[in-house]
Amino acid sequence: LTEIQTKVVIYQMLQGINHFHKKFIIHRDIKPANTLIKNIQYLSDGLNDPKEWIVKIADFGLGVYDHFLKAETKDSNIITLQYRPPEILCNSTLYNYSVDIWSVGITMCECLLGFVPVTSKFESSVLFKILVFRGIPNENFDDLLKKEFIGELPKFKIDRLKMLQIIFTDIYGRRILSDEGLDLIDQFLSYDYKNRITANEALKHKWFEDVHLHLNEDLLRYYKDNGTYYF
């Protein structure tokens, strides 16, 4: 997808996620395969026009009502492997709504790149690829990852934003994502799950300042009436 098309998809996904997070629901399996895009004018030539797109999140089979769920009863065997955040890969049951946000970040990468940057059939390999992709967490990260893995891993000292710039540059040296988009992905894919950007905060991110130019008018009016359009 183009950056504009991706922006429309991710924005509508965040609107949906923000809605069910407010209802104390964690989806726990956000990914493109569970994201439906309806083309309003399906008989027109507007198939590639994001103004014709209505995006919906499907398959709440792994969803959970979190309001009364205790850590000891949480299941860490959740989320399709490639979209699974590091805290879940470390078998933590202390996760929160931010697991959905990490999955949105990986989904955004896949929309733009056409592939998942941390794909593998094995949990340990996915985690290793995340560490290469994002670098080793700093000392402020939760102790869980450090206790389990830090002592055995090489030190990947990388500039995370520079790494994202490299990843989102095509073979001709052209950037396929703006600096604002890179910043949002960086916040989506934060190791610090306790302070990872929320869906509501992400909807206010500067990357979405021009999203109104690319949204269906009825949909934009709905968001405004709902109080979840912030520009």
Q: What is the pLDDT of residues 68-78, one digit of tens each?
A: 666 655 777 89
Q: What is the pLDDT of residues 184-207, one digit of tens each?
A: 999 999 988 888 999 999 999 999
pLDDT score for 157: 63
Q: Which string of b and e fits 35-61 if b means at least 16 CB within 10 Å?
A: beeeeeeeeeeeeebbbbbebebeeee
pLDDT score for 30: 98
- Whole-model pTM over 0.85: yes
Residues composing the chain: 231
Active site residues: 29
Identify whether the C-beta of residue 59 lies closer than 8 Å to the C-beta of residue 34: yes
- 8-state DSSP, 166: H
Q: What parts of the chain have a pLDDT lower than 50?
A: none
Alpha-carbon gap, residue 220 to 96, rounded angstroms: 29
3-226 placed in CATH 1.10.510.10 = yes
Burial of 204 (0-12, 13-18, 19+ CB in 10 A): middle
Domain positions in the chain are 3-226
Alpha-carbon gap, residue 225 to 222, rounded angstroms: 5
Contact partners, residue 103, CB within 8 Å, separation at least 6? 29, 30, 31, 79, 83, 84, 85
